[in-house]
Amino acid sequence: MNPNIPSIEQLKEIALPAPVSYAPQTWGWWVLLAVLVGAIVLLGARRYWQWRRDRYRREALVRLAQLQKRSDDLSALRELPELLKRTAISMPNTSFVGARLARESGAAVSKADRVIVLRGQASLLQGPAVLGKDDWQAFLQGHIAHPLPANFSQQLSVLAYAPEAVLRALPSDQRQQLFDTCKLWVERHHVAA
């Protein structure tokens, strides 16, 4: 045999390099990581805040679905205007919208009815709680981008105050249209930020 051939006893294990670290090596990557984590936390907090703010909307949609299941019942029809009014009252910042608009525009506020007329629309310092007829229609239309029926507030007042015979005479497609319009408004109305 050849004496220059090494034997197995002479083999040594090869030294491996140190494992590569996944940690960023420069400060710029640490800054980028901090910005990303901060952005994720802020987006998560904003989504949570929006989810909590829209609680009234989810509750109104659940109640509306319950009423729609029993749309043949007159009490369900009578509750529709009340549900819309409660939803409008529950909107965040609605009680302060009129006061803020008055301060910004310098409009005069009468103490008798506390109505502010601004750009042809009336809004109340108390919010939508005491709106009626044209003011209620303007409030509903002013908070949604989709067009509502021109007589929507009148239809709601019929539901609230008409005799039972009038409500029984409503065709089922008109009842369905009222429920659909109410659902559209509750889902899509925008809230002043």
Interval 40-73: pLDDT, tens: 999 999 999 999 999 999 999 999 999 989 877 8
186, 64 contact by CB (below 8 A): yes
Model's pTM, two decimal places?
0.64
Is the pLDDT assigned to residue 119 strictly greater than 60? Answer: no
Res. 148: pLDDT tops 90:
no
Q: Which residues contact 187 (CB under 8 A, 6 or more apart)?
A: 57, 61
Distance CA 33, CA 29 (A): 6
- Two tokens at 8? 């197995």
Mean pLDDT of the chain: 79
60 burial via Cβ count (<10 Å: 0-12, 13-18, 19+): buried
Quick count: other Cβ atoms within 10 Å of Cβ 189? 19
Rounded distance between C-alpha atoms, residue 175 and residue 80, angstroms: 11
Opening angle at CA 87, ends 184 and 166, nearest 5:
70
In this predicted structure, the answer to whether residue 101 has a pLDDT above a threshold of 60 is: no
Whole-number pLDDT of residue 41: 98
Please state the domain extents for the chain: 56-188
